[in-house]
Amino acid sequence: MKYKHKKILCVDDDPVNLQLLEAFLKPQGYEMIMATGGVEAIEALCATCVDVVLLDVMMPGMDGFEVCRYIKGDERLRHIPVIMITALTDKKERIKGIEAGAEEFLSKPFNFPEVLARVRMLIQMKELNDRLSFAYNDMVTLTAYGEELMHRFDPVSFDFQESIDEIMKQTLRKKTKDDARPEVFIVGIFNEKGNKWRWNIYKHTNGAIEAEPLPGGYEKLLDIPARGSSTASVLNAKDMDNPEIAAFLNEVRNVISHIDNVVSYVSGTLCIFAMNYGYDVSGYDAAVLNNFVVQSLFLNNLSTQVHETEDAFEYMVYSLARAAESNDEDTGNHILRVGRYSATIAEYLGMDTRFIQTIRLQATLHDVGKIHIPAEIIKKPGQLTTAEWKEMKQHSAYGAKIIGSHYRLSMAASIALTHHEKWDGSGYPGGLKGEQIPIEGAIVALADIYDALINPRVYKPAFDAAATYKILTEGDGRVMPRHFNPLVLEAFKKTAGRFEEIFEELKNN
């Protein structure tokens, strides 16, 4: 077993003793740090990571007991094992050392094989404790991040790549002396839509953690398990010639100067390789990485299911809207255009993203109540009779009744009921006025009339964009500016060009 990079702090006021310890331990592969007093020792401990302290008891000023008590009383240092070196054989002095927190004792003159055995044993203990500590800290970080993520988790807007990016930033090593987390992550994500892998490397660049894209093809060098399965592995320096991963590691060495160790998770949709921990890795590290991965995959699967449900929901809404248009063949893409117009106004008014997305979809149901209106009334080319007009006006109430009271369709129900209300109170079915009209109804009211004007109907020819704009902003007797919410009308004036683009894009065939 190699002990390269392990640091031993030797504290003794006698330079001869320091020289003896260095002469014996340095050839064993240890990095030696020397201190001739308690204050100097504490300064060294605070400046660098130390794996074990060889501490003389009898020193002037701050003696070994006091230094040991300081080490064990400091949260940052208490995990460092202390071997007290003394010529004293008095049991009371040893008890005093135990009470100060020392893990071991050595007597002068030195028995160097004993010194080496005790140092090795305590370093092994520290390595195990460090691994547990690192794993615990990572689990605490994971739990905190998971709680935060669940608080802000939106399955509709969830982005798997962004989630992985955030996890990498949470677990990548920071530039501090006591951080032994991985220096580098290499991550591959399979994009099912594009049917290809996307690979990134995560590392510190110019003081910040950044993701850099890598060339494709790494997946060809790996034994990717069947869909639904995964494999995990832990590799230290002695394992790097493992034939299952050797080709992959050789390719990775083109972008990483060295690879000390690797913890990996490999599946048919996600591959993560954490590299260059500050210690030999073990199953603890694999378990931590696996927990991170499982959390993200769970949220991604949940998001995918929600997206599928949302797609089905949207399909149902559009189907219902199309059914309502079955008796009104000349309207063509009217429902789609009204949804797009409405979203344009909502965006200009500064509505939040959810409102904009909802009105784009649910505005298409504004005339769903026409399902209950006889086709001969809807398709009548001439002016409606009083009775026919009374029946036609019922479609608003019919629409709200068809849509019902489910919270997911509350905006659609409101739009269906109120999109013929007018700001001056002259609309129907409720004669609502001003702020009594919900904003979604006021928006769709203008969007619906715009499309009715610019689109040909059985009872009228189409107006061009300029004439439509003039009618809405100046009036023509039937349609007047006072019919519209002033904020909505102003938004239309500012976005009229976009309205024209939407109409051209979604013209009837």
Which phi and psi angles does 255 have, rounded to 5°? -120, -10
User: Could you say which DSSP state residue 457 is in?
Assistant: B
Name all domains of the chain by residue range, CATH numbers in brackets.
7-128 (3.40.50.2300), 153-296 (3.30.450), 325-505 (1.10.3210.10)
Q: Given this model, what pLDDT does residue 2 score? A: 39
Residue 360 has pLDDT above 80, yes or no: yes
Percent with pLDDT over 90 in the chain: 56
With a cut of 80, say whether residue 152 has pLDDT above it: no
Q: What is the pLDDT of residue 1?
A: 35
483, 422 Cβ separation under 8 angstroms: yes
Look up residue 101 and give its two tokens.
Answer: 């927190």
The string of DSSP codes covering 381-398 is: -SPPPHHHHHHHTTHHHH
Q: What is the mean pLDDT of residues 250-264?
A: 91
Asked if pLDDT for residue 177 goes beyond 70, the answer is no
**pLDDT of 73 strictly over 80:** yes
User: Three-class SS of residue 190?
Assistant: strand
Residue 90 has pLDDT above 80, yes or no: no
Q: How remote is the C-alpha of 496 from its chain's centroid?
A: 37
| pLDDT the model gives residue 328 | 63
Dihedral over Cα of 175, 147, 407, 483: its sign: negative
Residue of 296, 267, 355, 328 lying closest to 508 (CA atoms): 328
Peptide bond into 109 cis (omega under 30): yes
Residue 3 confidence class, pLDDT cut points 50, 70, 90: very low
**Band of the pLDDT at 149, cuts 50, 70, 90?**
low
Among 398, 389, 509, 397, CA closest to 455: 509
The mean of the pLDDT values for the chain is: 88
Q: For the segment 202-242, what is each residue's pLDDT rounded down to a tens digit?
A: 988 777 888 899 988 899 999 998 888 899 999 998 888 88
User: Rounded mean pLDDT of 94-99?
Assistant: 87
Residues 32 and 99: beta-carbon distance below 8 Å? no
For 279-327, write each residue's pLDDT tens digit: 888 888 888 888 778 877 887 788 788 888 888 999 999 888 888 777 6
Which pTM value belongs to this model?
A: 0.59
Ranking 48-52, 113-117, 417-421, 504-508 by mean pLDDT, the lowest is 504-508
Distance CA(404)–CA(229), nearest Å, equals 44
What tokens were used for 82? 């202390």
Q: Say what the pLDDT of residue 89 is.
A: 65
Residue 501's contacts (CB-CB under 8 Å, 6 or more residues apart) are none
| Tens digit of each residue's pLDDT (9 = 90 or more) over 396-414 | 999 999 999 999 999 999 9
Rama region for 213: left / alpha / beta (φ>0; ψ in -120 to 50; rest): beta
Mean pLDDT on 86-102: 82
What letter represents residue 172's amino acid?
L
pLDDT, residue 191, reads 86
State the Cα–Cα distance between residues 506 and 339, nearest whole angstrom.
11
d(CA 217, CA 339) in angstroms, rounded, equals 43
486 preceded by cis ω (within 30°)? Answer: no
Q: Which pLDDT score, from 0 to 100, does residue 286 have?
A: 87
219/268 Cα distance (integer angstroms):
9
Concatenate the DSSP letters of all residues of 90-132 into one string: -HHHHHHHHHHT-SEEEESSP-HHHHHHHHHHHHHHHHHHHHH
Predicted pLDDT at 49 = 87
In the block, residue with structure tokens 């997946």: 219
* 275 within 8 A of 260, measured Cβ to Cβ: yes
What percent of the chain lies above the pLDDT cut of 70? 95
341 or 376: which carries more pLDDT confidence? Answer: 341
